[in-house]
Structure 1
Amino acid sequence: MYTPAAFQETRLPVLHAAIDAIAFASLVSSAASGLQVSHVPLLLAPQEGPYGTLYGHIARANAHAACSGTASLAIFLGPHAYISAGWYPGRKTHGREVPTWNYIAVHAHGILETFDDPAALRQHLRELSGRHERAMPEPWRLDEAPADYIDQNLKAIIGLRLPIERLEGKWKLSQNRSEADREGVLAALQSLGDDASLDMANAIREANVRHEKGVG
């Protein structure tokens, strides 16, 4: 991933926190027929290996299931937003401005593994659903469903394991712009008021506080 120095994020806890928060990835694997791409929720086991290990599952009928042992990449895309050139003060003075796109992205590289042991799959589903049910007022638990029903569903899926060998983070959040430019962007995002714009505004503030302190 092309990442100028101003946008690099290398701190493992920050990268892990982003993976956990985003939770959904585009998984890309090499195959004899070309690239295979699946869009799947992935759960991070942060203590497994130097960079952590990702777990997920796909339908057994998915051609991605044949990619065990191949180089793979899980792409987590966080908050992102169009940044208008009109939000920079320079629009009204020198006019030499162009639009851009701000975003957070994490790339996790490794060799994909698959597993189909029913006990391991059941535990994976228990942990994955537990992660996403934790914010629910009445969390659903896998064990609430009849065991034979879950057993039937387990036969239709295959587990994915991706030990992370390399982790890249790109926080492209206006760190290369002047304070006046960032203030213009923040004001415009705040005025738009939608969730995506407000999430981006918060990300810009956090990233630039770290950038000014020389952290990350």
Structure 2
Amino acid sequence: MALSFGARVRETRVVYVPNHFAPDDDAVQELLASHGAADLITMTPDGMVATMLPFSYDRSRNVLLGHLARNNDHWQREVLGEALVIMRGPNAYVSPAWYASKQEHGRVVPTWNYVTAHVYGELTVHDDVTWVEDVVRRLSDQHELGRAEPWSVDDAPEKYVRGQLRAIVGVELAIHRIEAKFKLSQNRPAADIDGVVDGLRADGEEPTADAVARHRP
């Protein structure tokens, strides 16, 4: 059983994204394919509802696929308008002490570097064991990839898996548009970016440091 909620909206809402923080399409595609868990947010007649859950991105169909607990009534609530999925990549605090500019003029303040994408679309609920099993396998294979001994759904007893599948329902977001922002110090002078990368690595924030280095102008 598939339940479709929401309808396309004709006006596109645009978030504040300065040109130097606007990622290219390849960077956005990479985030959708490799992110961790994300927030599914919907407006319902009773107000806004949010659930955090992992998604698998099917680029060929331009959809996000996931599942949530059957006991979570989020999936049963009517969706008004579009659904929103907020995805996040690396993020970390940036100290102004890392900027070379601090020594030059002192006109620097703290900030936060981050990678995010707001994904809007039409939400469909799939209360179908076969559909849900496919998503579970996609997600498991995606996150087990590269492990020395990757776990597979087939490693668990079939009867147990069937019971677990009956306890969840699937969700599919047909993507209408994506508003992404990669705020990674691209607006700072080169010497300041060097300081940010070094400072983040010293703080153990390797993923954010790598992102800053990779997206520097």
TM category, shorter? 0.7 to 0.9
Query: RMSD of the alignment, in Å?
Result: 1.6
Q: Report what 1:201 is aligned to.
A: 209
Q: Report what 2:29 is aligned to.
A: 16
**Inter-partner Cα distance in structure 1 for 2:138 and 2:196:** 39
Q: Report what 1:91 is aligned to.
A: 102
**Inter-partner Cα distance in structure 2 for 1:160 and 1:67:** 13
Any conservation in 1 of the 2:43–2:79 contact (CA below 8 Å)? Answer: no
Question: Residues 37-85 of structure 1: CA distance to partner in whole angstroms, max 9, x if unpaired?
Answer: 111010001100xxx1000001111121124654211111111111111
* Superposed counterparts of 1:148-159, under 5 Å: 148-159=159-170
Any conservation in 2 of the 1:116–1:158 contact (CA below 8 Å)? Answer: yes
* Superposed counterparts of 1:183-198, under 5 Å: 183-192=194-203, 194=204, 197-198=205-206
* Residue 42 (structure 1) aligned to one of 55, 59, 71: 55
* Superposed counterparts of 1:95-106, under 5 Å: 95-106=106-117
AA paired with 1:181? D
Question: Residues 132-174 of structure 1: CA distance to partner in whole angstroms, max 9, x if unpaired?
Answer: 1222222222123222222212221110000111012211011
**Inter-partner Cα distance in structure 2 for 1:22 and 1:14:** 12
* Residue 68 (structure 2) aligned to one of 58, 70, 80: 58
Please, what TM-score do these two structures have when normalized by structure 1? 0.87
AA paired with 1:26? D
Q: Report what 2:8 is aligned to.
A: none
> How many Å apart are 1:87 and its aligned residue?
1.5
Are residues 122 and 146 of structure 1, via their aligned partners in 2, closer, same or farther at CA, if it must alter by over 3 Å? same
AA paired with 2:167? A
AA paired with 2:19? A
Are residues 191 and 31 of structure 1, via their aligned partners in 2, closer, same or farther at CA, if it must alter by over 3 Å? same
* Residue 39 (structure 2) aligned to one of 12, 26, 31: 26
**Inter-partner Cα distance in structure 2 for 1:140 and 1:89:** 47
Percent of pairs with identical residues: 35
**Inter-partner Cα distance in structure 1 for 2:50 and 2:79:** 15
**Inter-partner Cα distance in structure 1 for 2:102 and 2:135:** 52
**Inter-partner Cα distance in structure 2 for 1:179 and 1:43:** 36
* Superposed counterparts of 1:56-205, under 5 Å: 56-67=66-77, 69-70=79-80, 71-192=82-203, 194=204, 197-205=205-213
AA paired with 2:166? K
AA paired with 1:65? W
AA paired with 1:83? V
Any conservation in 2 of the 1:10–1:168 contact (CA below 8 Å)? Answer: no
Are residues 67 and 166 of structure 1, via their aligned partners in 2, closer, same or farther at CA, if it must alter by over 3 Å? farther
Aligned length: 202
**Inter-partner Cα distance in structure 2 for 1:109 and 1:10:** 18
Q: Report what 2:11 is aligned to.
A: none
Are residues 144 and 78 of structure 1, via their aligned partners in 2, closer, same or farther at CA, if it must alter by over 3 Å? same
Unaligned stretches of 5+ residues in structure 2: 1-14
Please, what TM-score do these two structures have when normalized by structure 2? 0.87
Any conservation in 2 of the 1:126–1:142 contact (CA below 8 Å)? Answer: yes
* Greater fraction of residues in helix: 1
**Inter-partner Cα distance in structure 2 for 1:190 and 1:160:** 37
